[in-house]
A = this chain, B = another copy of it.
Amino acid sequence: MAEHNFSVENTLVLLLDEKKYHSLRDILTTMNPVDIAAVFDELEENRLPLLFRLLPKDLAADTFVEMEPEAQELLLRGFSDSELKEVIDELYVDDAVDIVEEMPANVVSRILAQADPEMRKQINEILRYPEDSAGSLMTTEYVALRPNMTVEEAILRIRRTGIDKETIYTCYVTKDHKLIGLVSVKDLLLCEDDDARIDSIMEENVITVGTLDDQEQVAQMFSKYNFLALPVVDTENRMVGIITFDDAMDVMEDETTEDMEKMAAMLPSEHPYMKSTPTEIWKNRIPWLLLLMVSATLTGLVITKFESALGVLPILTAFIPMLMDTGGNSGSQACVSIIRGISLNEIEFSDLLTVIWKEIRVAVLCGAVLAVACFGKVMLIDHLLLHNKSVTTWVALVVCFSMAVTVCLAKVVGSTLPLLAKKLGFDPAVMASPLITTIVDFLSLLVYFTFATSILHIG
Binding site for B on A (CB under 8 A): 1-2, 30-32, 34, 155, 158-159, 162-163, 168-169, 185-186, 189-190, 204-205, 207, 222-226, 228, 245-246, 249-250, 252-253, 256-257, 259-261, 263-266, 269, 272-274, 278-279, 281-282, 285-286, 288-290, 292-294, 296-297, 299-301, 303-304, 307, 310-311, 314-315, 317-322, 324-326, 328-330, 332-333, 335-341, 344-348, 351, 354, 358, 361-362, 365-366, 369-370, 373-374, 377, 381-382, 386, 388, 403, 407, 434, 437-438, 441, 445
Contact = CB atoms under 8 A, between A and B. Distances in A.
Contact of A296 (B205, B273, B274, B326): B326
Query: Which of A189, A225, A326 has its CB near the most chain B CB atoms (within 10 A)?
Result: A189
Query: Which of A226, A269, A445 has its CB near the most chain B CB atoms (within 10 A)?
Result: A226
A369 B290 contact: yes
Query: Which of A30, A285, A335 has its CB near the most chain B CB atoms (within 10 A)?
Result: A285
Contacts of A330: 285, 289
Nearest to A338: B273
Contacts of A297: 322, 377, 381
Given A228-B228, A337-B273, A155 B189 contact: yes
A261 B263 CA distance: 12
B253 A373 contact: no
A422 to B, nearest CB: 13
B292 A329 contact: yes
Contacts of A320: 303, 317, 320-321
Given A286-B369, A307-B318, 20 more contacts: A1-B345, A30-B205, A169-B169, A226-B249, A252-B252, A265-B332, A282-B362, A282-B365, A285-B362, A289-B326, A294-B373, A300-B319, A300-B321, A303-B317, A304-B315, A310-B314, A310-B317, A324-B324, A325-B438, A328-B437
Contacts of A362: 278, 281-282, 285
A291 B330 CA distance: 12
B288 A329 contact: yes
Contacts of A266: 333, 336-337
Contacts of A263: 260, 263-264, 336
13 contacts: A223-B253, A245-B245, A257-B340, A266-B337, A274-B341, A293-B322, A293-B403, A297-B381, A300-B322, A300-B382, A307-B314, A311-B311, A325-B441
In the A-B complex, list the 7 residue pairs whose CB atoms are closest, starting with the nearest.
Answer: A226-B246, A278-B361, A264-B336, A296-B322, A299-B321, A282-B365, A300-B318
Contacts of A261: 336-337, 340
A289 B403 CA distance: 11
A426 B252 CA distance: 26
A1 B207 CA distance: 13
A214 to B, nearest CB: 13
B185 A169 contact: yes
B445 A31 contact: no
B265 A329 contact: yes
Nearest to A323: B296
A346 B272 CA distance: 8
A225 B294 contact: no
A358 B278 contact: yes
Contacts of A341: 272-274
A293 B365 contact: no
